[in-house]
Every structure is written in C-alpha cells, then in structure tokens.
C-alpha cells in the first residue's frame, strides 16, 4: 500500500517521515495521474489559500474529488482540513473554492494570530487511553458538523478539533510534528 501526500506546499515532508517510521510507503503527489497509484491521500498543513490556488492551477481539484467519490481515504491536517470542508468561515472574508468534500464548517485562524499557537493534550478515545499531543498552529476548528460526521476530539471548551466522515478524516492540529504515530496508523488502517 502506498499513501500519497499532496506536495504542493506546506509540511508534506514531515508526513512522509511519519509514514516512514511506521514502515508505510509514501509518495509525493503533484500530478493528477499520481492519484491512481495511491490507496489514501494526506493533505498537509500549510496555507490553505495558497494550497487551493495551486490545486486549481495544477488541475488537481476534480481528480481529487473523483478520488474521494471512489471512497478512497483523504486526511486533511490543519490547512488540509480547510481544503476538505464544504464551508469555510473565513476571518478575512476572502472567498475560497475548497474541495467541498466533507460536511463541515471550518472556522479559519480561529484561535487568533501566529503567537496564539499552542500545544495541549487531547483525548481521542479511538486511539486508546493515552492522551494525544495536539499541536495547534494558526489552527482552524470545526464550527459545525453534518449528521454523518463523527467527532473524534474536542478541546475542554467543547470545540471540535478532529472528525471523520466515512473515509474522510480532518484534524485541526499537526500529528506529523509530534512523535506520536497513532493517527497516521489510524489513517493507514482506513486506507488498507
């Protein structure tokens, strides 16, 4: 099984390193045809406006939508989660044409500015009892989730920061910047 990582912008190399640690083959994806070679796709953190511009420019939007329509798994982390959303509550009011795959409303830059980045432990019961290290960097959160969306993690104040809808997974935070490989393993199980 090969997992693809969208490698247009953002921290795709860190995801590749995580997959390497759990002995899963990773492939950088930049061209539509490369989607035919992978069992699951990770859309990394970075800057969602830039990433979407490049996805449109590289003609990847429709091929990624078809990939999802084949029920193949996609995981968006942080900016990647914004790309998956069918609705974005944008703090600077810029309209964004996302992939529109997941029935979620995402609030962008929801915790304030860069200095408001933070780390906190999260309870993610699907991963077991040990808390998961949540690294939030100018993170979005899930303001609203549709009926088919399962919440996987919330902050103590109830804000949703991880969710799954069938084969689609979204996390506000960055597991690829930690030593905890459990979410990568979880995504690989969905993909296999």
Under 8 Å between Cβ of 151 and 159? no
Residue from 45, 73, 76, 175 binding ligand GLN (CB under 6 A)? 45
Q: How far is Cα 25 from Cα 20, in angstroms, rounded to an integer?
A: 7
CA distances from residue 155 to 11, 122, 133, 152, 162 in whole angstroms, order as listed: 24, 7, 12, 11, 10
- Answer yes or no whether residue 48 interacts with ligand GLN by CB under 6 A: yes
Cα first-last separation, the chain: 7
| Contacts (CB under 6 A) with ligand GLN, residues 123-152 | 137-138
Under 8 Å between Cβ of 43 and 76? yes
Alpha helices, H only, the chain = 12-21, 48-57, 61-69, 79-84, 182-191
**Which one from 15, 176, 184, 188 is the annotated catalytic residue?**
176
- Answer yes or no whether residue 76 interacts with ligand GLN by CB under 6 A: no
Identify which range of 13-21, 28-36, 40-48, 147-155 contacts ligand GLN by CB under 6 A: 40-48
Nearer to ligand GLN, 2 or 47 (CB): 47
Q: Is 174 a catalytic residue?
A: yes
- Eight-class DSSP state of 51: H
**Minimum distance between the CB of residue 176 and ligand GLN, rounded to whole angstroms?**
11
Residue from 47, 58, 144, 185 binding ligand GLN (CB under 6 A)? 47
Q: Is 188 a catalytic residue?
A: no
**Which one from 15, 78, 83, 188 is the annotated catalytic residue?**
78
| Contacts (CB under 6 A) with ligand GLN, residues 85-124 | 108-109
**Minimum distance between the CB of residue 69 and ligand GLN, rounded to whole angstroms?**
25
Residue from 24, 55, 79, 142 binding ligand GLN (CB under 6 A)? 79
Q: Is 56 a catalytic residue?
A: no
Q: How far is Cα 151 from Cα 142, in angstroms, rounded to an integer?
A: 10
Nearest Cα to Cα of residue 53 among 12, 10, 112, 106: 10
**Which one from 15, 34, 83, 174 is the annotated catalytic residue?**
174
Task: Record the tokens describing residue 105, joined without a space.
Answer: 């409303």
Report the catalytic residues.
78, 174, 176
Question: Can you give the binding site for ligand GLN, defined by CB under 6 A?
Answer: 45-48, 78-79, 82, 108-109, 137-138
């Amino acid at each position: 099984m090969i997992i693809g990582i969208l490698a247009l912008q953002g921290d795709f190399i860190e995801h590749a390193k995580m997959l390497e640690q759990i002995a899963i083959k990773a492939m950088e994806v930049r061209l539509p045809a490369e989607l035919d070679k992978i069992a699951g796709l990770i859309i990394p953190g970075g800057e969602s406006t830039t990433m979407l511009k490049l996805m449109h420019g590289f003609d990847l939007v429709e091929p990624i939508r078809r990939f999802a329509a084949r029920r193949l798994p996609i995981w968006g982390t942080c900016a990647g989660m914004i790309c998956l959303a069918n609705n974005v509550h944008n703090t600077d009011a810029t309209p964004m044409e996302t992939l529109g795959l997941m029935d979620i409303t995402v609030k962008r830059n929801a915790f304030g500015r860069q200095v408001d980045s933070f780390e906190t432990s999260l309870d993610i019961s699907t991963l077991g009892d040990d808390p998961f290290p949540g690294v939030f960097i100018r993170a979005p959160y899930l303001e609203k989730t549709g009926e088919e969306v399962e919440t996987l993690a919330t902050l103590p104040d109830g804000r949703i920061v991880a969710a799954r809808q069938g084969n689609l997974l979204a996390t506000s935070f960055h597991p690829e910047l930690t030593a905890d490989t459990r979410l990568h393993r979880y995504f690989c199980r969905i993909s296999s």
